[in-house]
Structure formats: structure tokens, C-alpha cells
Amino acid sequence: MHKVLIIVGDATETLDTMYPYYRLQEGGYQPVVAAPEKRKYQMVLHEVKPGWTITKEWEGYTIDADIAFADVNPDDYLGIFFSGGRAPEYIRDDKDLIAMTKHFFEKNKPIASVCHGVEIPARADCVKGRRMATVPKCQFDLEICGGTFVNEPCVVDGNLVSGRTFHDHGHYFGEFMKLLDAARGK
């Protein structure tokens, strides 16, 4: 079974993580949760409540990391998914995460990102000249690193698929699955 990495950390968004996890299983892939350490991580729920101008956060489910970033051999994986939430802001400087991110871009493997997930490939210097969707408050992170912000529910730029928030899962994730299917020769 082909393996696909799901990148998480504490405060990873629950829906941004669980929807892709189960869609990958449904598609015949083995989702592998990777994080700074192999341990349990607390996920969160994010929503901008009516009348609010900032994101409200609640505790969500927990998820166990299957593997630490330092132990990942990117050659063993067909694709990578960068989950959203606040986690990317805190894990994006991890040298092992940066190295594996660069691998997937350099090898033109299937890559997907949602919401704040963009902060990881941006930090890894992989978004120059690339079109991506992200939550509008991460537009600056994308553009300052040379990417182009597109405010749409699904943006496909070669091997890179992205969405803005969990509200877009039904729009962009199927496109990522198509890239994975093509990569495994289905």
C-alpha cells in the first residue's frame, strides 16, 4: 500500500487533518501522521464566529504521530499533505521537516496544503512562482516568499493542490487524490 504523509503538530486543525486521513484510507492509501516527535498531539477546531473578526479556537480530538520528522525517509512516501491550524507556525522551522518538504517539491511528487499549511512550504523556500490557495490571513506568508495567492476553494499548480480552509475540503482534496492515483499508476 502506498504511503502518504500527513504533517501535524500541536494545534493542528481537527477537520483539516481527519478529513484527509480518512479520504486517503478510502482511496487505498496508508496515511502516515508525521510530527516533531512520535507522541500524541492535541488538535483544535477553528472558526470565525459571527460577529467576530478573529478565529475562535476550541480543543478538538487528539491524534498519535506514527513517526517523527527526523525518522522520515521521504523516498518511502508517494505524497505529502500539510494540515492547517496553528501548528505550521510552530513546526515550520524544523530542519527535518524543511528537508522533506524540499524533497517532495524537487521530486515533483503530489503535494497538498490547506489553510496555515502553506507556512511550511513557504518557509522551505518552495513556493516561488507557485499559485496557491490559503486562508486569507496567510496571504502575506505566501506572497513574501514569492508565491501567488488565489482566493479560490481549489488551486492546482502542477503537482501542488491547495485549499483555503476546511470548508474547501470537498473541492481540493479530490484533485489531490487524482494526483496520487496518477503517481501510483492507477
Residues noted as catalytic: 116
Kindly report the number of other CB atoms within 10 A of residue 51's CB atom: 5
Burial of 15 (0-12, 13-18, 19+ CB in 10 A): buried
Beta strands in the chain (DSSP E): 3-7, 12-13, 30-35, 40-47, 56-64, 67-68, 79-82, 111-114, 131-132, 148-149, 155-157, 160-163
The grid coordinates of residue 95 equal 530542519
Instruction: Report in angstroms the alpha-carbon separations of 68 from 36, 45, 71.
Output: 5, 23, 5
- Separation CA 71–CA 172 (nearest Å): 29
- 5, 81 in Cβ contact below 8 A? yes
